[in-house]
Protein backbone atom coordinates (compact mmCIF):
# COMPACT_ATOMS: atom_id res chain seq x y z
CA UNK A 1 0.00 0.00 0.00
CA UNK A 2 2.76 2.41 0.96
CA UNK A 3 4.54 1.80 -2.34
CA UNK A 4 1.36 2.45 -4.30
CA UNK A 5 0.81 5.73 -2.46
CA UNK A 6 4.42 6.75 -3.17
CA UNK A 7 3.94 5.98 -6.88
CA UNK A 8 0.74 8.03 -6.90
CA UNK A 9 2.75 10.88 -5.31
CA UNK A 10 0.43 11.15 -2.29
CA UNK A 11 2.48 9.45 0.43
CA UNK A 12 3.71 12.85 1.68
CA UNK A 13 0.12 13.65 2.70
CA UNK A 14 0.17 10.72 5.12
CA UNK A 15 3.62 11.55 6.46
CA UNK A 16 2.62 15.15 7.10
CA UNK A 17 0.91 15.47 10.42
CA UNK A 18 -1.64 18.27 10.52
CA UNK A 19 -2.72 19.17 14.00
CA UNK A 20 -6.02 20.87 14.56
CA UNK A 21 -6.86 22.97 17.56
CA UNK A 22 -10.21 21.32 17.91
CA UNK A 23 -12.58 22.61 20.51
CA UNK A 24 -16.32 22.33 21.00
CA UNK A 25 -17.10 25.07 18.47
CA UNK A 26 -14.81 23.73 15.72
CA UNK A 27 -16.62 21.56 13.22
CA UNK A 28 -15.26 18.83 10.99
CA UNK A 29 -15.75 20.96 7.89
CA UNK A 30 -13.70 23.82 9.38
CA UNK A 31 -10.87 21.37 10.09
CA UNK A 32 -10.94 20.10 6.53
CA UNK A 33 -10.97 23.62 5.08
CA UNK A 34 -7.95 24.43 7.27
CA UNK A 35 -5.94 21.98 5.16
CA UNK A 36 -6.05 24.27 2.11
CA UNK A 37 -7.52 23.41 -1.28
CA UNK A 38 -4.55 21.54 -2.77
CA UNK A 39 -3.97 19.55 0.39
CA UNK A 40 -7.69 18.78 0.56
CA UNK A 41 -7.53 17.22 -2.90
CA UNK A 42 -4.46 15.16 -2.02
CA UNK A 43 -5.94 14.16 1.34
CA UNK A 44 -9.16 12.97 -0.30
CA UNK A 45 -7.26 11.13 -3.04
CA UNK A 46 -5.11 9.32 -0.47
CA UNK A 47 -8.14 8.53 1.69
CA UNK A 48 -10.01 7.13 -1.32
CA UNK A 49 -7.04 5.01 -2.38
CA UNK A 50 -6.75 3.48 1.08
CA UNK A 51 -10.53 2.99 1.35
CA UNK A 52 -10.58 1.01 -1.88
CA UNK A 53 -8.03 -1.42 -0.45
CA UNK A 54 -9.44 -2.09 3.02
CA UNK A 55 -12.39 -4.17 4.18
CA UNK A 56 -15.84 -2.78 4.99
CA UNK A 57 -15.31 -3.24 8.73
CA UNK A 58 -12.23 -1.02 8.66
CA UNK A 59 -14.00 1.57 6.53
CA UNK A 60 -16.83 1.83 9.05
CA UNK A 61 -14.47 2.13 12.01
CA UNK A 62 -12.44 4.91 10.35
CA UNK A 63 -15.29 7.24 9.37
CA UNK A 64 -14.44 9.77 12.10
CA UNK A 65 -10.85 10.30 10.93
CA UNK A 66 -10.34 13.75 9.41
CA UNK A 67 -6.94 13.41 7.81
CA UNK A 68 -5.32 10.56 5.97
CA UNK A 69 -2.48 10.71 8.49
CA UNK A 70 -4.87 9.94 11.36
CA UNK A 71 -6.54 7.25 9.24
CA UNK A 72 -3.19 5.59 8.47
CA UNK A 73 -2.05 5.68 12.11
CA UNK A 74 -5.31 4.07 13.24
CA UNK A 75 -4.89 1.28 10.70
CA UNK A 76 -1.28 0.69 11.76
CA UNK A 77 -2.31 0.58 15.41
CA UNK A 78 -5.05 -1.93 14.67
CA UNK A 79 -2.94 -4.30 12.60
CA UNK A 80 0.29 -4.13 14.59
CA UNK A 81 -1.21 -5.15 17.90
CA UNK A 82 -0.82 -8.78 18.77
CA UNK A 83 -3.56 -10.22 20.90
CA UNK A 84 -3.07 -13.30 23.01
CA UNK A 85 -5.93 -15.04 21.22
CA UNK A 86 -4.20 -14.44 17.90
CA UNK A 87 -1.02 -16.01 19.27
CA UNK A 88 -3.00 -19.04 20.44
CA UNK A 89 -4.62 -19.38 17.03
CA UNK A 90 -1.23 -19.31 15.28
CA UNK A 91 0.17 -21.82 17.77
CA UNK A 92 -2.80 -24.15 17.23
CA UNK A 93 -2.39 -23.94 13.44
CA UNK A 94 1.31 -24.67 13.79
CA UNK A 95 0.79 -27.64 16.11
CA UNK A 96 -1.95 -29.11 13.87
CA UNK A 97 0.02 -28.63 10.66
CA UNK A 98 0.28 -31.92 8.73
- Dump pLDDT digits (tens) for 60-95: 887 878 788 888 888 888 878 777 777 787 778 778
Kindly state the average pLDDT of the residues 15-34: 53
Residue by residue, DSSP assigns 33-83 as HTT-HHHHHHHHHHHHHHHHHS-HHHHHHTTT--SHHHHHHHHHHHHH---
How many domains does the chain divide into?
A: 1
Q: What is the pLDDT of residue 43?
A: 83
Amino acid sequence: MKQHLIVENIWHVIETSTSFASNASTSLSNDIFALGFENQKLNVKAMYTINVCICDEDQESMTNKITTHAFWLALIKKYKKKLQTTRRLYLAKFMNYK
